[in-house]
Structure 1
């Protein structure tokens, strides 16, 4: 991943900066992003990807670029933070969720609680974990495989 400044505008002591971000992947895929960093945080102004990004990938794009942008702005770990220039506020996109057996058990509890309330169990897992639908379905499958939920289909 590479980040380089495109331009910066200062108005009334407030800086707004644009950065070009390029993500390269081992399989030849590439994502080019024009990101705006201001006192309000980070926003994505333009995205070009080859091959095109799925909606799930687009949803986590900000997470992918947040760390390198923080470093480029001088707001990363170990930076002095002179008070000048843009600052990327630290944030976590999704709540902390335990891994392993404990996480699978909690997924199963969320799933069963939603079923008992008549709500969508997959959406309940999505809301609890902060993950996309695809990732929530994987977590539910892991809970089934671990024996916390009943099998989806009876094997013949």
Structure 2
């Protein structure tokens, strides 16, 4: 491989700060998670710090993150490149998984928790810690997360070209 490629790829740590796709993805994640935190705070008047890192809820931070990454790569590298293709496929897989497997796993956890809750106190499983129920997302939560990610990448693009 060409030595210039290695030199460019291993440039200073400050190049991470200038990495527009990475920054877009990070900002999308932070905005989505913060939105969940503040919506709980406004609705329920309680501070739930788990909302800053937890999965599930509106909007999907997973969808916002991968959409921002794919869109930023598309804006920066063009839509015809391999990097955009990889990022787009990754985004589709993550969003499909959020509305499919993870959503169904959360619904199963809800049913299992209800079964365990109804067990008599002397049953060996009666004192189990409940399973996490909020794992996946509804299609609307994923779509809103995707739109949020696209908006953040577009704003980042406008900032980087000016």
TM-score (norm 2): 0.32
Determine which structure has greater relative contact order: mean sequence separation of CA pairs < 8 Å that are 6+ residues apart, divided by chain length: 2
Q: Which has the higher helix share?
A: 2
TM-score (norm 1): 0.33
